[in-house]
């Protein structure tokens, strides 16, 4: 038997009275691609931080690295000496430094006085870039790169620092399907070079695709480590949540009246000649790669941009929105794909965020905006959407991704919309919470709301929409009843 | 462990309550300290003189507060006040010397109106040109100063009708007029900021303008309102200064400029916008005035009280740091 890259046993971690990890075991083989799965708050990050030396476990924990027992505390620097590196979701790069400077950063930290020269940095960076077989300009400023490229810089950086074990926290959360594939290829190449990779990801499909084994945590306890062969998404999400998730595809025959009609809608440089209708009670999937025009169309429906030509009809009347306020007043709501920056004001309170779309209504009939009415509105929606909130006066940032998304839904449902546009509503939301969000969405459709679901995840489009429109380079490439295709076919169509 | 319990208790309170409690504690502390060391501090006379001195700084601080909440700054408050006073003084001296009491409301409307117009123009620059408020208001400040000096040739315009004297030095129901004006203005600002949809929009635009825009808040309109209000209050301060000194001189009150910023931050306004309440601001201003009057009574230099004000801000930052870390 080969020696394990990491064997960690009896790991327990308490924060005050809260047990984040309870007697957890974790094994990693050399060159293995391993997945660490579990819902938000299950202890994944805590485990990574312990192995990485950021947190100290409770006494009794045992660590073997490459067959040798670790003596004493692991610290972040001793972890690095053992070749353990973590690429956090925010990547921790320096946006104002060049690609080469970022890649060689650890070499500089190791020896700040005899820092390496510019030419040497470029040379080393170039070598690493070639080793990975990626396309990067070592002189480019990191801040100017796309998220996908920055991810590659972060990977190059740990390779340059001679990593043997790399933890990647949600590496694909903000990547498109295509970029994700590129990343996964690189990960496979690393594993061929004997480097072990541990993935933390909410996207179960890719987890099963790329990983050999998956370790599942639930509420700080180890559920088990399983080979991915023979594992299905459904089985994995059941292991993670401990619940069977209902994901029956929709029938697809909706004959409500036409709520939203687009006729030859065009905005130069963004989308061209887009025509479709959306009926009451229907969920329409709008899919395509990043840059296919899906968000741009949504922004025009929401009045943030005006189309150059074509017609937009809402509830039978032609509309021309001058601002999103017009669109909101007419009954359009838009859940942005960027919940952190655009969907919510993270610093402001949960109550204020919920009320922010309906200030005029709350102020009627006088000029008095009663804080009590804001609270009542917030409490009503917390109850309706079963959001877990300890105190509505806390900032929204105190909530988990799934609960934040419920607040976003609440603030838009408060406007009583006829058309709800959801742009990638499950980004950064874990499996259990995803199911909850879709339950809400499907109930809204049942009550007669017309819904557009923008997503590039085939399984979401497959399970939760009646019809699918695939966009390519700003045009409608295909339009079909979702139930006419299988999930695999859909996946192929989206990525074609 | 006791300390820890107290700390958790404090952390459970909302930030608004904490800031107000801190400012009240601060005021009580200042009052207690000066009653102990300054003989004759606790007298009606002291409080009367404070009530006459505070309102100028108070009004200018209110004018600074609203732009700070919106994530900006209005460096032009003092010179806007001067220009508004000047406009009113020109009008009164030119046309209304014989109008008696009627000159007062007209001057008030002109002053506040001119201030509002200046403010709305500044706000439009900030909103539609997209320049940083510091740059726009710095430009406006220097422009207004130059304009004012040009119009007055560096001198002052004085000799207002008797009615102005009442506003500057009279009392109504035993409350000095300047204080009454300040309290009414503070009340209006409190109402607008905390109990109207426009105020709500100012807070939201201040902490995340992009999210506010996506929520359907007209951020550009909100910014014009912010600077319009700020200008109008500056105008009111200008009229009050005109009444107190019976004259206008460009540059009067310019030493208050940074003190108004200090007072806003002292009372918990977030330098990046979005947070800060009116009540702690009013209480905080009162404690600054108590320090100034107390030091004056002790015969200390006025500069010493300025130094103490600065020290207070530093101290408050240190006391506040454990609460800032929780986010």
Q: How many C-beta atoms surround the C-beta of residue B104 within 10 A?
A: 22
Q: What is the pLDDT of residues B235-275, one digit of tens each?
A: 999 999 999 988 888 988 888 999 999 999 998 898 899 99
Q: Does the pLDDT of residue B2 top 70, yes or no?
A: no
Q: Read off the pLDDT of residues A435-453 as tens digits, 9 standing for 90 and up.
A: 889 989 999 999 999 999 9
Of the pLDDT bands very low, low, confident and very high (cuts 50, 70, 90), residue B327 is very low
User: Which comes out higher in pLDDT, residue A38 or B124?
Assistant: B124
Over residues A374-391, mean pLDDT: 89
Task: Please report which confidence band the pLDDT of residue A106 belongs to, taking 50, 70 and 90 as the band edges.
Answer: confident
Q: Tally Cβ neighbours within 10 Å of residue B257.
A: 18
Residues 6+ apart with CB under 8 A from A265: A271, A273, A274, A275, A297, A300, A307, A309, A310, A311, A312
Question: For position B326, what pLDDT does the model report?
Answer: 44
B8 is a domain residue: no
What's the confidence (pLDDT) of residue A467? Answer: 93
Per the DSSP assignment, residues forming a β-bridge with A276 are A262
CA angle A414, A417, A423 (to 5 degrees): 95
Average pLDDT of the segment spanning A392-398 = 88
Query: CA-to-CA distance for A185 and A148, rounded, in angstroms?
Result: 13
At residue A79 the predicted structure's pLDDT band, cuts being 50, 70 and 90, is confident
Dihedral of the alpha carbons of A147, A153, A158, A162, in degrees to the nearest 10: 160
User: How many whole angstroms from its chain centre is CA B24?
Assistant: 18
pLDDT at A303: 94
pLDDT for res B12: 54
Whether B12 contacts chain A with CB within 8 A: no
Task: Mark which residues 269-328 of A lie under 8 Å from B by CB.
Answer: 304, 323-325, 328
Peptide bond into A365 cis (omega under 30): yes
Q: What average pLDDT score do residues A159-180 get?
A: 84
B327 in reach of chain A (CB within 8 A): yes
**Residue range A157-165: mean pLDDT, rounded:** 88
Task: State whether B215 and A352 contact (CB < 8 Å).
Answer: no
Q: What is the CA radius of gyration of chain B?
A: 20
Instruction: Tell me the domains of chain A and their CATH numbers.
Output: 6-241 (3.40.50.300), 258-495 (3.40.50.300)
* pLDDT on residue A450: 95
Which pLDDT value is given to residue A338? Answer: 86
Q: How far apart are CA A383 and CA A394, in angstroms?
A: 17
Contact A342/B at CB under 8 A: yes
Per-residue pLDDT band for B122 (boundaries 50, 70, 90) equals very high
Query: HSE of A384 in the Cβ direction (CA atoms, 13 Å)?
Result: 18
B201 touches chain A (CB under 8 A): yes
- Averaged pLDDT, A17-38: 88
pTM, two decimals, is 0.78
Q: What is the mean pLDDT of residues A6-12?
A: 89
pLDDT digits (tens, 9 = 90+) for B9-66: 555 556 778 888 888 988 999 899 888 888 888 888 888 888 888 999 999 999 999 9
Host domain of residue B307? 16-32+42-320
Give the helix ranges, DSSP H, for A16-93. Answer: 44-51, 76-81
pLDDT category of residue B1 using cuts at 50, 70 and 90? very low
What pLDDT digit, counting tens, does each position of B142-196 carry?
999 999 999 988 788 888 888 888 888 888 888 899 999 999 999 999 999 999 9
Gap between the Cα atoms of A77 and A375, Å rounded: 48
Which position has the higher pLDDT, A88 or A247? Answer: A88
Contact B271, B72 (CB under 8 A): no
Confidence of residue B5 (pLDDT cuts 50, 70, 90): low
DSSP codes of every residue in B79-127: HHHHHHHHHHHHHHHHH-TTSGGGHHHHHHHHHHHHHHHHHHHHHHIII
pLDDT at residue A430, rounded to an integer: 79
Do B212 and A356 count as a contact with CB atoms less than 8 A apart? Answer: yes
Give the span between the Cα atoms of B284 and A227, in whole angstroms. Answer: 64
Chain A nearest C-alpha distance from B198 (Å): 9
Name the minimum distance, in Å, from the CA of A339 to any CA of chain B. Answer: 9
CA nearest B187: which of B86, B282, B322? Answer: B282
Q: Give alpha helix (H) positions in chain B.
A: 2-12, 15-37, 44-69, 77-95, 103-124, 133-152, 162-169, 177-195, 197-207, 209-214, 219-245, 256-266, 278-297, 302-324
* Phi, psi for A141 (deg, rounded to 5): -80, 130
pLDDT for res A327:
95
Is residue B60 in some structural domain?
Answer: yes
Task: Return the number of other C-beta atoms located less than 10 Å from residue A144's C-beta.
Answer: 11
**pLDDT band for position A326 (cuts 50, 70, 90):** very high
Find, among A113, A139, A114, the residue nearest to A125 by Cα: A139
Question: In which band, very low, low, confident or very high, does the pLDDT at B4 lie, cut at 50, 70 and 90?
Answer: low
A360 closest CA partner among A426, A320, A414: A414
Q: Are A282 and A468 in contact (CB under 8 A)?
A: no
- Write the pLDDT tens digit of every residue in B72-113: 999 999 999 999 999 999 998 888 777 777 888 889 999 999
Q: Nearest to residue A121, comparing CAs of A143, A99, A88?
A: A99
**High-pLDDT (> 90) share of chain A, %:** 36
- C-alpha dihedral (B8, B12, B13, B19), degrees to nearest 10: 60
Please tell me which of the candidates A357, A368, A395 has its beta carbon nearest to residue B215.
A357
- pLDDT band for A246, please (50, 70, 90 cuts): low
Could B210 and A342 be called an inter-chain contact, meaning their C-beta atoms sit closer than 8 Å?
A: yes
Any domain includes B1: no
A397 close contact with B: CB closer than 8 A: yes
CB contact A364 to B (< 8 Å): no
B19/chain A closest Cα distance in angstroms: 15
| pLDDT reading at A184 higher than 80 | yes
Q: Do B200 and A371 touch (CB under 8 A)?
A: no
Residue located via tokens 């006088």: A366
- Cβ–Cβ contact A336 with B under 8 A: yes
- Rounded distance between C-alpha atoms, residue B295 and residue B302, angstroms: 7
List phi, psi (to 5°) of A380: -55, -45
Per the model's pLDDT, the better-predicted residue between A493 and A313 turns out to be: A313
Which chain B residue has the Cα nearest residue A412? Answer: B215
Q: Kindly state whether residue B50 falls inside one of the protein's structural domains.
A: yes
Kindly report, residue by residue over A52-67, the tens digit of the pLDDT: 888 888 888 888 888 7
Q: Which residues of A touch B194 (CB under 8 A)?
A: 371
**Residue range A8-35: average pLDDT?**
87
Size of interface A-B (CB pairs under 8 A): 72
State whether A360 and B197 contact (CB < 8 Å). Answer: yes
The stretch A136-150 carries a mean pLDDT of 87
As for how many domains chain B has, the answer is: 1
Q: Do B197 and A362 touch (CB under 8 A)?
A: yes
Rounded to whole angstroms, how far apart are CA atoms A345 and B205?
9
pLDDT mean over B215-225: 95
Q: Identify the pLDDT of residue B296.
A: 86
Q: What percent of chain B has pLDDT over 90?
A: 53
Asked if residue B7 belongs to a domain, the reply is no
CB contact under 8 Å between A356 and B200, yes or no, is yes
Instruction: Using CA coordinates, name the residue in chain B closest to A362.
Output: B197
The CATH number of residue B209's host domain is 1.10.3470
Strand duo A467-472 + A475-481: pairing: antiparallel
Residue A417 has pLDDT above 90, yes or no: yes
Residue A379 makes CB contacts below 8 A (sequence gap 6+) with A392
Assigned domain for B2 exists: no
Give the pLDDT band (50/70/90) at residue B6. low
Q: Looking at CA atoms only, how far is residue B233 from chain A in angstroms?
A: 21
Q: What does pLDDT average to over chain B? A: 88
- Residue that the structure tokens 């107190």 belong to: B244
Residue B172 is assigned to a structural domain of this protein: yes
Q: Is the pLDDT of residue A354 over 90?
A: yes
* C-alpha to C-alpha distance for A90 and B24, rounded to whole angstroms: 41
Residue A2: band (very low, low, confident or very high) from pLDDT cuts 50, 70, 90: low
Q: How far apart are CA B16 and CA B324, in angstroms?
A: 13
* Contact assessment for residue A296 and residue A274, using Cβ atoms and an 8 Å cutoff: no
Q: Whole-number mean pLDDT of chain A?
A: 87
Lowest average pLDDT, out of A107-116, A358-367, B298-307, goes to A107-116
Q: CA B120, CA B115: separation in Å to the nearest integer?
A: 9
User: What pLDDT was estimated at residue A38?
Assistant: 85
| A487 has a pLDDT exceeding 60 | yes
Q: Residue B10 domain-assigned?
A: no
**In percent, how much of chain A has pLDDT > 70?**
97
DSSP state at residue A145: S
């Amino acid at each position: 038997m080969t020696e394990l890259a990491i064997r960690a046993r009896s790991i327990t971690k308490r924060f005050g009275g809260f047990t984040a990890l309870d007697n957890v075991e974790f094994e990693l083989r050399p060159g293995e691609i391993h997945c660490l799965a579990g819902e938000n708050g299950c202890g994944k990050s805590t485990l990574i931080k312990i192995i990485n030396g950021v947190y100290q476990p409770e006494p009794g924990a045992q660590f073997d690295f490459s067959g040798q027992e670790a003596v004493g505390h692991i610290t972040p620097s001793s972890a690095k000496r053992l070749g353990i590196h973590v690429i956090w979701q925010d990547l921790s790069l320096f946006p104002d430094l060049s690609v080469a400077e970022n890649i060689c950063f650890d070499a500089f930290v190791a020896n700040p006085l005899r820092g390496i020269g510019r030419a040497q940095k470029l040379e080393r960076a170039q070598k690493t870039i070639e080793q990975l077989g990626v396309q990067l300009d070592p002189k480019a400023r990191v801040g100017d790169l796309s998220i996908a490229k920055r991810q590659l810089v972060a990977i190059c950086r740990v390779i340059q620092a001679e990593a043997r074990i790399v933890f990647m926290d949600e590496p694909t959360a903000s990547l498109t399907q295509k970029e994700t594939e590129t990343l996964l290829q690189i990960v496979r190449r690393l594993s061929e070079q004997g480097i072990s990779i541990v993935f933390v990801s909410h996207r179960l499909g890719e987890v099963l695709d790329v990983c050999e084994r998956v370790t599942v945590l639930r509420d700080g306890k180890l559920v088990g480590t399983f080979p991915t062969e023979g594992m299905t998404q459904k089985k994995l999400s059941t292991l993670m949540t401990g619940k069977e998730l209902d994901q029956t595809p929709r029938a697809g025959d909706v004959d409500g009246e036409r709520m939203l009609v687009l006729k030859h809608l065009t905005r130069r440089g963004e989308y061209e000649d887009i025509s479709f209708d959306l009926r009451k009670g229907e969920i329409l999937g709008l899919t395509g790669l990043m840059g296919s025009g899906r968000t741009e169309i949504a922004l025009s429906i929401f009045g943030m941009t005006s189309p150059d030509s074509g017609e937009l009809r809402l509830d039978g009347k032609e509309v021309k929105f001058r601002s999103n306020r017009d669109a909101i007043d007419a009954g359009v709501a838009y859940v942005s794909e960027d919940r952190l920056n655009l969907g919510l004001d993270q610093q402001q309170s949960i109550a204020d965020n919920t009320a922010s779309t309906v200030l005029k209504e709350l102020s009627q009939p006088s000029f008095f905006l009663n804080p009590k009415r804001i609270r009542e509105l917030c409490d009503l929606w917390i109850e309706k959407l079963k959001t877990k909130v300890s105190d509505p006066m806390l900032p929204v940032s105190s909530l988990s991704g799934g609960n934040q998304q419920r607040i976003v839904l609440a603030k838009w449902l408060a406007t009583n919309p006829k058309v709800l546009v959801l742009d990638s509503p499950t980004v950064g939301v874990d499996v259990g919470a995803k199911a909850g969000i879709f339950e809400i969405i499907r109930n809204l459709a049942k009550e007669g709301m017309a819904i557009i679901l923008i997503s590039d995840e085939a399984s979401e489009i497959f399970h939760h929409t009646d019809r699918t429109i695939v966009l390519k380079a700003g045009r409608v490439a295909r339009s079909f009843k979702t139930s006419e295709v299988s999930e695999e076919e859909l996946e192929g169509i989206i990525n074609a | 462990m006791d300390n820890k319990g107290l700390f958790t208790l404090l952390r459970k309170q909302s930030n608004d309550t904490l800031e107000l409690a801190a400012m009240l504690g601060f005021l009580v502390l200042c009052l207690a300290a000066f009653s102990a060391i300054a003989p004759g501090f606790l007298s009606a006379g002291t409080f009367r003189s404070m009530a006459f001195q505070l309102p100028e700084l108070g009004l200018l601080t209110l004018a600074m507060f609203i732009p700070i909440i919106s994530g900006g700054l209005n460096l032009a408050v003092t010179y806007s006040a001067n220009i508004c006073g000047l406009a009113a003084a020109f009008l009164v001296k030119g046309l209304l010397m014989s109008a008696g009491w009627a000159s007062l409301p007209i001057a008030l409307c002109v002053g506040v109106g001119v201030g509002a117009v200046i403010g709305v123009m500044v706000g439009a620059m900030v909103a539609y040109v997209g320049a940083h408020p510091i740059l726009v208001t710095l430009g406006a400040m220097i422009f207004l100063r130059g304009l004012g000096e040009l119009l007055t040739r560096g001198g002052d315009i004085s000799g207002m009708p008797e009615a102005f004297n009442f506003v500057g030095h009279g009392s109504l129901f035993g409350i000095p007029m300047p204080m009454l004006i300040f309290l009414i203005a503070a009340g209006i600002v409190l109402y607008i900021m905390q109990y109207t949809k426009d105020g709500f929009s100012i807070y939201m635009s201040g902490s995340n303008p992009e999210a506010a825009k996506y929520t359907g808040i007209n951020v550009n309109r909100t910014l014009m309102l912010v600077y319009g209000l700020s200008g109008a209050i500056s105008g009111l301060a200008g009229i009050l200064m005109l009444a107190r000194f019976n004259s206008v001189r460009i540059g009067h009150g310019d030493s208050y400029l940074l003190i108004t910023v200090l007072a806003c931050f002292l009372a918990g306004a977030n330098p990046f916008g979005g947070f800060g309440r009116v009540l702690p601001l009013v209480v905080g201003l009162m404690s600054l005035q108590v320090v100034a009057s107390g030091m004056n009574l002790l015969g200390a230099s006025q500069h010493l009280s300025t130094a103490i004000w600065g020290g207070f801000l530093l101290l408050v930052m240190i006391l506040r740091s454990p609460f800032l870390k929780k986010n």
